[in-house]
Amino acid sequence: IGSKQEVEKVLPAVKKLPGLSSVLHSSSDLYSPPLPETLTPLFKSVLADNKYTHFFSAHSSAAKSVLPRVAAVLDLPAVSDITSLTHSSSDDSTTFTRPIYAGNAIATVRAGKEIPLKIVTVRATSFTPLSSSSSSSGDVEAKEVQAVEENGDLTKHLETTLSTSDRPDLGVAKKVVSGGRALKNKETFDKTLEPLAEVLGAAVGASRAAVDAGYADNSLQVGQTGKIVAPELYMAIGISGAIQHLAGMKDSKMIVAINKDPDAPIFQVADVGLVGDLFDIVPELTEKLK
């Protein structure tokens, strides 16, 4: 979905994804940039005829804006942030698991045949990503869907502000270095974490406390109300380990914590913990890694 130029640019790559039989695409200047108010009528027109049984999306900011609207106009429930699923063809039911209470409990949700279309968002870090060498084994049909020109005047896009960085994207990085409120201010945050992230080739993240204090941009927030990450290495520096932060990173393969408080909750989930002053430890660690 997008302008004609945007769709034509990505369509060949999308058709190569494995497991696809067809790709639906729709082009209109109304969809560039895409807004929930303009996308909802399009999705409604595609999904309303009950030809499809499931509608999936990653649990992204865009999906969290669009899918509840789509579910509402179709008068259907939606299941968000699932971490696993099983489907029974005998009774046409799908069973999902999803974290609740900041990940402290797992809810099992069953959508039966009385729900003709299951609308679902997926926690991407809970599933194995496709290999970069994976590609479609057959011909994939590209079907154009007529744009639905509704709600064009309801909301206007005014401006897009992008924060640029040479670092890997936080959501998909294999290594993440995150800092908390203990880093005192933005200057100290950058001065302490940037060299370590540079030598590791890591993305930089932050706790909510650090973001609220202005140390880091909101796009770097890791946690229940930020980004959910599951890198191979997650370094929590000066982060106490509040439950909301743990909900966003506890699935990381290797968690390294540096904190001067030996009783900090972060040490309960850390694979490697170092108790000490981060302002001494991090520069020394950075030099040794160099």
pLDDT at 161 exceeding the cut of 90:
no
- Map tokens 């990381």 to a residue: 252
Tell how many helices (H) and how many strands (E) occur in the chain. Answer: 7, 13
What percentage of residues in the chain have a pLDDT greater than 70? Answer: 98
The whole-number pLDDT of residue 190 equals 96
Provide the pLDDT confidence category of residue 69 given band limits of 50, 70 and 90.
very high
C-alpha to C-alpha distances, 121 to 60, 67, 83, 87, 255, nearest whole angstrom: 8, 8, 9, 16, 26
The whole-number pLDDT of residue 106 equals 95
pLDDT at 177 exceeding the cut of 70:
yes
The whole-number pLDDT of residue 167 equals 83
Q: What is the pLDDT of residues 84-127, one digit of tens each?
A: 999 999 999 999 999 998 888 999 999 999 999 999 999 998 99
The whole-number pLDDT of residue 137 equals 63
Region for 210 from its dihedrals, namely left if φ exceeds 0, alpha if ψ lies in -120 to 50, beta otherwise: alpha
For the chain, how many residues are written?
290
Note if the bond before 34 is cis, omega within 30 degrees. Answer: no
- Fill in the DSSP letter of residue 221: B
pLDDT at 134 exceeding the cut of 80:
no
State how far the Cα of 85 lies from the Cα of 123, in Å rounded to an integer: 11
DSSP string of 61-110, one letter each residue:
HHHHHHHHHHHHHTT--EEEEESEEEEETTTTEEEEEEEETTTTEEEEEE
- In this prediction the pTM is 0.82
Average pLDDT, the chain: 93
Element (H, E) at 280: helix 278-289
Tokens of 270: 């850390």
Q: What is the pLDDT of residues 235-254, one digit of tens each?
A: 999 999 999 999 999 999 99
Element (H, E) at 144: strand 141-144
State how far the Cα of 219 lies from the Cα of 222, in Å rounded to an integer: 9
Provide the pLDDT confidence category of residue 136 given band limits of 50, 70 and 90.
low
State how far the Cα of 140 lies from the Cα of 12, in Å rounded to an integer: 10
